[in-house]
Structure 1
Amino acid sequence: MRYYLRKLAFYLVALWAALTLNFVIPRLMPGNPVDILLAKLQLRGGSVDPAARRSFELLLGGGGDESVVSQYLSYLGNVFRGDLGVSVSAFPAPVSQVIADSLPWTVVLVGIATLLSFLVGIALGALVGWKRGTWLDALVPATTVLSAVPYFWLALILVAVFASALGWFPLLGGYDVVLSPGWDAEFLSSAIYHGTLPALTIVVSSIGGWLLGMRNMMVSAASEDYVLTAQAKGLRDSRIMIRYATRNAVLPSVAGVAISLGFVVSGSIITEQVFSYPGIGSKLLQAVQNNDYALMQGIFLVITVAVLGANLVVDLLYALIDPRTRVTG
């Protein structure tokens, strides 16, 4: 129990530090970001009332008669209420609504693709590492070459071949524009159809790293004393591979997947841009292009919370998989 409480306390402190940095960084920017935002709102036909200006001052600084401490406390209160300001690039929508609309697209697309590449890579890596020196080892160089290919280059190749030349998949978008988003079968099938090619890009690009890492750990685990002892007892080869070697060899990969799952929220910005996919990566790029500080700040905050949450969950699961960490951690 002490181990879990220490971990929880550590991540709560990390969350507080992330919120504090999110408060401080905009206030270190040259000029007045609030005036820049409000000027852009007026150019887009938005009416700027004192309440809107006050909200932006709490988020970004640059005005007001209150002390920094008072602004900080008000900022924390707004964040915990979900008030992240108004998006300039999607005016008059609030930042929280923009994030809520785009986040599910990225979580489903990149999350499923990341888990799929992890599971397939780990399974293939365990098999190749257990049967090292066989023809299966010839798979490793091919997959490592694919993992070195940039996302955007592979995405463009897949678009050119499977979407443009063969016409098997749509060129862009997250669903058929004639449909209204909902949970009906027609919309879901359209979303899956449009998301297949972007997901395939992520899986093909990342599977090689998981395979190579797991293969090397399996080679090391296969020579450990506990594996040799299990073989001497006459246990089935498949049981030794799964219950003994794989269970220990997968531990470093479990730690690695925490970071990958955390960054699912940030999405693959270039991949989403190539496919014009309506994920949060595209919204972040749109916010940068439009100097939408409130939206950038909100997305960075969500990414930080996602990374911390994913690492916390994996740390807790890691302690269940390997009880030794509860003693040494």
Structure 2
Amino acid sequence: MMRFYLQKIGFYLAALWAALTINFVLPRLMPGNPVDIMLARLSARGSVAPEARRAIELMLGMDTDQSIVGQYVAYLGNVARGDFGVSVTVFPQTVADTIADTLPWTIALMGIATVISFVLGVVLGQFAGWKRGSWLDKLIPVTTMFQSVPYFWLALVLLYLFGSVWQVFPLNGGYDVYETTPGWNGEFIASAIYYGTLPALTIVLSSVAGWMLGMRNMMVSTLSEDYVVTAEAKGLHPRRIMTTYAARNAILPSLAGFAISLGFIVAGSIVAEQVFSYPGIGMTLLSAVQNNDYALMQGIFLVITLSVLGANLLVDLLYSLIDPRTRARA
């Protein structure tokens, strides 16, 4: 068992090194230069001394006097210390501080909504597969309609209905900037929940059908297995058969998909935050791309990579606990 875990951790460490290397190479292959962008911004406010270019290169981690190998080694050292440079978009704030300010918003919105949609879809799919032909089973085509609709279109429709026509929820923002002060206080938390309800509802409506349909189909397939038939022949309680024998095995493919969904919470937040003007990391990434802020893009891409790898590693380990056969094959 220890060998299995060491193999998994070693594989993900190798994947992390490869991702760090790609993250280092890609910004240097893109057109444009963040140093020139920063000099252009500074020159608009007045004359810039010749020494400013060298200072900005060092500040942004673009030391052209170093070889590419030296830059790579320095990059790995900076990443290990959590130093991703200075953001051009929100200068003079560091990339680490910018990510720290925006990432909690995305995790709170996308993370909670993804977990809710997964749990709701799995539970409903379990009962739909157990009671085939019931009203819940017949509800699945209706839920898949929301999944087939483009996400941004569904978000705009809900925003128009509940934000403009009936004015139940606000049209944009993450909290009431006029009446509340950010912090761990009840007034701010209540405001953040209120502003995040409509974006979260959009995410749940657009994704719950996929989990529900997948779990339902796996339940139907699992119920015909020999071990389920044997459990029924033994006279075990139907609820125990449904949860312990059928659902435990039917949920395995959904867990793998859930790992991917958790990992792409950060990457998948761009459209949602753009439509609802939500102050998360997706909006920050969009601003970084528009401003050629390579340092900020590099930091956000690294966060996305770490979230994907971390989520997959966590579910791989959880998978081995639910299905011991995976350890035996390893």
* TM bin (shorter chain): over 0.9
Structure 2 gaps of 5+ residues are none
- 1:40 is displaced (CA, Å) by 4.4
Counterpart of 2:278? 277
Is 1:156 matched up with 2:160?
no
Matched to 2:14, the amino acid is V
Counterpart of 1:188? 189
Counterpart of 1:246? 247
Question: Is contact 2:231–2:241 with CA below 8 Å preserved after alignment?
Answer: yes
Counterpart of 2:76? 76
| Within-5 A mapping of 1:1-329 | 1-30=2-31, 33-42=33-42, 45=45, 48=52, 50-58=54-62, 64-178=64-178, 179-329=180-330
Deviations 1:1-50 (A, max 9, x none): 100000000000111111111111222234x5243333344257598464
Matched to 1:180, the amino acid is T
Q: Note closer, same or farther for the CA distance 1:137–1:98 as it changes in structure 2 (3 Å cut).
A: same
Mapped to 2, the partners of 1:98 and 1:69 lie a distance apart of 28
Q: Note closer, same or farther for the CA distance 1:163–1:22 as it changes in structure 2 (3 Å cut).
A: same
Q: Note closer, same or farther for the CA distance 1:166–1:83 as it changes in structure 2 (3 Å cut).
A: same
Question: Is contact 1:99–1:280 with CA below 8 Å preserved after alignment?
Answer: yes
Mapped to 1, the partners of 2:256 and 2:97 lie a distance apart of 32
Question: Is contact 2:39–2:53 with CA below 8 Å preserved after alignment?
Answer: no
Q: Which moved more, 1:190-199 or 1:32-41?
A: 32-41
- 1:197 is displaced (CA, Å) by 0.3
Matched to 1:29, the amino acid is M
- 1:51 is displaced (CA, Å) by 4.0
- 1:73 is displaced (CA, Å) by 0.8
- 1:66 is displaced (CA, Å) by 2.1
Deviations 1:54-80 (A, max 9, x none): 24344xxxx523222221111111111
List 4+ stretches of structure 1 deviating above 6 A.
none
Mapped to 2, the partners of 1:230 and 1:133 lie a distance apart of 23
Mapped to 1, the partners of 2:305 and 2:45 lie a distance apart of 33
Superposition TM-score, scaled by structure 2 size: 0.94
Aligned residues: 324
Q: Note closer, same or farther for the CA distance 1:134–1:24 as it changes in structure 2 (3 Å cut).
A: same
RMSD: 1.6
- Identical pairs, percent: 64
Question: Is contact 2:117–2:208 with CA below 8 Å preserved after alignment?
Answer: yes
Mapped to 2, the partners of 1:286 and 1:243 lie a distance apart of 48
Deviations 1:177-222 (A, max 9, x none): 1221000000000000000000000000000000010011000000
